[in-house]
Each structure stands twice: as C-alpha cells, then as structure tokens.
Amino acid sequence: MNGQFCVSRLRSKGLRSRVLAGLLVFGSVWGGVPASAQRSIPQASASVRAEYRQQQEHQVNPDNYDLSRRPVTAANEDYWRNILWTTAIVEPQEDYISETIAQIISLTSRADLSNPQIRTVDMGIQVGTQLYLINPTVYANVGQQFVQTIEQSRDPIWVSMAFSALVQSGISLEERSQLSQRIQERFPRWTQDVHLYATLKEVENLNSPAAMPPLNELLNWSIAPRQMQMYVICRPDRGVLCQVVLKDANGEFVREDDKLWSVPLSLRSIHNLSWMFTRGQTPQGIYRIEGTVPQPDTEYFRAYGLFPLIKLFVPFEEGVREFVPGRSGTLTGNLTAYQALLPPSWRSYFPIQQTYWAGKGGRGLFRIHGTGDAPTFFTSNSRYPTSSEWNPTIGCLSALELYDDTGQLQQADMPKIIDALKSVGGEAFAGYLVVIDVPGSAPIALEEIEAAIALHSP
C-alpha cells in the first residue's frame, strides 16, 4: 500500500495500539542537495509515474469492488487495503463504489469482528469520509451508514468518526445537537472515553467558537528554557499552505536577509478526517522535535521522497527521549501538565490542546517529510490550486519536492528545513514544534507573523 504513511497502528477489540513503521535505515548525506539527488531517479520519471497512476485507475472497476467475490475477511485484508487506498488516490465518482463502502461501514454494528476485519472497517470509514465530503450526493449511502453507526455501533471510535464526518458535511446546528444528545444517551460515560469526549468537545466549540488568544503571546513564549521552537502557522482550511518560522534557543527568530526564515508546508490529510483520528489532519498544539530518521530506501521513495524525515512526538507517545527537558520519557500527568507548557492566555483554548487529546487517543508517528510522488498522482490536489504541488499525507507535514520528467530533482525544501534546525540545535537537534490555525482564508503572509512577533507580551 503506497502513499504518505505517517501513522501506523494495530487495532484490537476494545483497544488500538501503535506500532512503529518498519523504516530501513541507511546513511544520510547533507549540505544542499545530496549526491544521490544529482542523478535521475527512475521512480520519479514521467513515464514511470504515468504508468503507476494508470495502474491505480485500472483497478477502479465493478469487479474489484464486489463484496460477494471478496468479502471482508482476514484473508482479504490486504486486498481491501490496496483497493481502498486506490479509491482514496483516484476519488472515483461511481454508485457501485458508494454501495461497497457503505456495506463495509455497515459492519460497525457487529460486535464479533476479527482484528483484520476491524482494520478494514477502519479504512472504509476513513476513505468513506473523504468521498462523502467530496460528493454527498453520489456517496449518500455512506452518509446513511454514518447515521446507522451512531445508532447501532458499540465502538466509541467508530461512533466518533461517523459523527465527525456528518458534522463536517454541513448538517444543521439542530441535527448536530440531536446527534450529540443521542451519543451521550448511548454512552453515558462518554466523558471517560477520549474519542467521544474530544469529538463532542470539538463540536461544542464549533457551535460556540472561542476567540483565539493573542498570537504574539504564543510566539513570544518559551515552552522550556534554552529550547528552539518551530511554529507552523496555518489557516483553518488546510488546503491553504502553512508557513514555518523558527526561534533559536535564545528566543530569537531566525532570519535571512533581514526577513524571517520561512518554508511553506502542507498539513492537509488526504481523507479530510478530524485531527483526533488516525490518518486525520495534523493536530494543532505542541510537538517535541527530536532529530531525524533517515529516508529508508527506494521502496519508500514514493512515500517520503529522497531526504531524511524529522521526528515529531505528541504527548503520551512512546519513543521520545525527553518530552520535557530533564524528565526522561513522554509527558506525564493530566491536562494541567500540558497546559503548563503554554502561555496563561492559551491554556483554556481547546484547539491548542489537540495534540494532547490525539496523543491520549493513540495517534503518533508524525513526521515532516518530502515526497517522491508526482503532484498529479493524487486527484485531490486538483481541488487546491494554491497548494497543488504539495502532496497530501495521512497526518504528517508535507514539504515541497519536485522532479522533472527525467526524474532529476528540481526543488526540495527538506534540506533547507533540516539545515536550519541544525544551525540552531546542532547535529542532534531537539526542541518544540507548535501548530496553530489562525483565522483567515488568504495564504499566511510573513508580514502577518512579523506583526504578531513585534507585539511583545507584557
């Protein structure tokens, strides 16, 4: 299964546990463009890319979506994983696909599913959300199954995902309130389930949005002493590119020719799932940065591109050396411990808590990485003309990486990002990254960020 795989998690009944992606490690090369980028890469050539896209399109035919021939069983898990990923890439508008995905989602009412069946249903909901939000008319069957999931499923994660998809589709405030009430009736202890709580809290926030605290107070705050901090400033519409700025361990913003150092990133998930769910949008909030993982090998080139990936950790995620400097391991404690890392005016602002709740719910393996896929590989890119050269991910932060028709690298931002981090943090750099959505619809201008920085907090 190809694509940007930033999150890998096994699912068992009543529990989802994380498993690190099997990345093969080899030596990396730095200093501008590595030697390996100065030659043509076969996987990036126009002919190979066109052939691979055609292979995806050829898989979209009624026979391949026939559940009577290939039911959702353990033996067919890999088959449906491949077909559903193809569906996410191509985004076909076909009634027979709507019917098949709706049938897969209808399995949410069953309590006797095996782990492979559960994982297939997970992916059915993820891809079903993507297609339903694109075209709720063709995929009306999927929307109906989301309603049935809320009424019948015993799985709080599936109920949360179904509710979130319906809310994103634009149902009325009255419908949102009715479904929210129904969920609370079916799950009386909903406040003790992280997915239900976070989803219902997010919908409550949509109904009565809280004003964003002053941006300058976030930008001029130090999460921990002597730690570099990277900020990824976005718009609520993740189809608009985000801008990255960097502050060194002394609290000074990095500049180039008297302008803020900055790189554009895309934080758009291909499935348009909420930030709370695996393969969903990149959550807002605090991440720990701890070095890089080398780009694996040519097998993973299409997913990650040519360059190393920057490792990010959310609260409660295993593998971090020190989420808080001087304290080994991940963040400990409750929400108050997380809030203490934020400026006082931001501590009760729910959107900045997203990494806390997403980490508590099991998300992880976030990375900043490039891509070896052509921008034309994903049909969804055509809907985002201002960011169409940045490919979607399934939760990670995507940097620009472009190749010509011969497979020769033309442009890549990953070396620039990692060189900047090394310049302020050394070879084994560590620090923080903060993602925040700022109200507005136009692309983020550096002047807007400069103005916020200039308003030093009292």
Q: Is residue 320 part of a domain?
A: yes
Supply the pLDDT for residue 227. 97
Answer with the one of 176, 191, 207 that is the final residue of a domain.
207
Q: Are residues 310 and 442 in the same domain?
A: yes
Answer with the one of 207, 229, 250 that is the final residue of a domain.
207
Q: Are residues 164 and 306 in the same domain?
A: no
Q: Is residue 18 part of a domain?
A: no
Among residues 365, 355, 353, the alpha carbon closest in space to that of 311 is found at 365
Q: Can you give the pLDDT of all 458 residues of the chain as single tens digits?
A: 334 446 534 344 333 332 222 222 222 333 345 555 567 899 999 999 999 999 999 999 999 999 999 999 999 999 999 999 999 999 999 999 999 999 999 999 999 999 999 999 999 999 999 999 999 999 999 999 999 999 999 999 999 999 999 999 999 999 999 999 999 999 999 999 999 999 999 999 988 889 999 999 999 999 999 999 999 999 999 999 999 999 999 999 999 988 999 999 999 999 999 999 999 999 999 999 999 999 867 778 999 999 999 999 999 999 999 999 999 999 999 999 999 999 999 999 999 999 999 999 999 999 999 999 999 999 999 999 999 999 999 999 999 999 999 999 999 999 999 999 999 999 999 999 999 999 999 999 999 999 999 986 54
Q: Is residue 30 part of a domain?
A: no
Residue 69 phi, psi dihedral angles, 5° rounding:
-85, -40
Residue 62, domain extent: 56-207
Q: Is 345 within 8 Å of 215 (Cβ atoms)?
A: no
Q: Is residue 120 part of a domain?
A: yes
Q: Are residues 271 and 388 in the same domain?
A: yes
Distance CA 310, CA 65 (A): 37
Q: Are residues 234 and 142 in the same domain?
A: no
Task: Quick: pLDDT tens for 413-434.
Answer: 999 999 999 999 999 999 999 9
* Helices marked H in 171-290: 173-186, 194-207, 215-219
Report the domain count for the chain: 2
Q: Is 245 within 8 Å of 233 (Cβ atoms)?
A: yes
Q: What CATH number does residue 361 fall under? A: 2.40.440.10
Supply the pLDDT for residue 299. 75
Q: Is residue 34 part of a domain?
A: no
The CA-based dihedral angle spanning residues 183, 187, 190, 193, taken in that order and rounded to the nearest 10 degrees: -110
Q: Are residues 236 and 176 in the same domain?
A: no
Q: Are residues 272 and 203 in the same domain?
A: no
End-to-end Cα separation, the chain, in angstroms: 51
Structure-block tokens of residue 386? 């201002």
Q: Is residue 3 part of a domain?
A: no
Distance CA 297, CA 24 (A): 7
Supply the pLDDT for residue 99. 98
Q: Is residue 321 part of a domain?
A: yes
Q: Are residues 184 and 279 in the same domain?
A: no
Q: Is residue 75 part of a domain?
A: yes
Supply the pLDDT for residue 357. 98
Q: Are residues 250 and 395 in the same domain?
A: yes
Q: Are residues 73 and 151 in the same domain?
A: yes
Distance CA 453, CA 253 (A): 9
Supply the pLDDT for residue 1. 34
Q: Are residues 203 and 219 in the same domain?
A: no
Q: Are residues 202 and 257 in the same domain?
A: no
Supply the pLDDT for residue 38. 66
Helix (H) or strand (E) run with residue 130 in it: helix 115-134
Answer with the one of 190, 207, 224 that is the final residue of a domain.
207
CA atoms within 13 A on the CB side of 131: 33
- The amino acid occupying position 211 is A
Q: Are residues 194 and 245 in the same domain?
A: no
Q: Sheet of 430-437: strands edge to edge?
A: 263-265, 242-247, 228-234, 430-437, 285-293, 309-313, 366-369, 397-398
